[in-house]
Structure 1
């Protein structure tokens, strides 16, 4: 068809779609849909229940498989370590044998220094928060030694490498304790001051400073 003054051109937007794909002019767009037959609806509900049950089962199997795979990557010799108790920390039993300075126990420690018969000035140091004691010598010579032994517990010792002082590593103690603290001189011709070994005993009740 040609366009002209008496015959306007037609476009797809000029009116409703034509042909078999368009809606019937007599169809009611607000008419309710027909329900599915009962048998079809029953089968759909059964299929939904089956999917829910088996989906949960598949999830559990997937989790168990993932855990088993993770454990398989751990060597057999490492498996017992997964169930071991962690080592004790410091403050606590983990302070035993450690440096009081490196562990931080020296910062709040109290000191007992015997005032008589102590020519090289040995100290007993005690950290209540760390539950540990250690010995220190502050006026000795290289080779001189400080030792301590906790009654019913550990023994520690340290000798001066250079200068005049040295401290031992820590020995753990309980709320009550008894410690034997000793100074042991180095024997040799290069000594400038002569003295003999001496010891003190101390408990938690000594006058700490």
Structure 2
């Protein structure tokens, strides 16, 4: 799909308006509704409506997610985003001494939800001004080499989780805190991980989403750690008391309800050899239950 090129001739001189116009052009070219756009990017349709219509500035990760969902070259959109972000920072004239951007502040937002269970579906924190966030980024340049290396490992851990890092925060934070180039060692494997927390055991550090499905508004993911030979379920866009469970073909099953917020992840089940695993999401109050496909260990021949 080609990018939009501003339906009214030359692009606006205002970088923020240029980004907004390009997002609108991309959406119109895609033919997708806000709801469909939200489903493809895992950001709320109401968020896209605000971003496209200029009511709120989008996080970088949302722009990246849009490019990936529509199979676009992200460079143009991200270049527009960078110029718009700098323009907003310059326009505020805020004190350089403000707080910096959060650790996952490139738009991969902290999400309200159960402990470490959220996916990258919430909006970025807007409490800091663009100038403050920009100042925070610049101050990072003065951090010592060891700390930078540790932070790089932490960011790599976040990206390895598939965009939403909350089932791996303990591992990434530990690496950053120690300045070590090596991430923490997973604390369990296979059957030994059964019923355990993927974050506390560092299994979430290499977590990846094998498959996903939906139960109405709930997004259900089956997450997998190669290092731990284990899988777990995660749900987002869920309501309080909705339940996620992870299951395997050996008969193991572990479930967790949403205690607050709109997301949660389950304890782990082993998935080795010819075993398969799947995740399910159940609506609150005994509502409908939907499950992902049954997935084998990645790379295992089927049949």
Q: TM-score category by the smaller chain?
A: 0.3 to 0.5
Q: Which has a greater percent of strand?
A: 1
Q: Which has a greater percent of helix?
A: 2
TM-score by length of 1: 0.48
TM-score by length of 2: 0.34
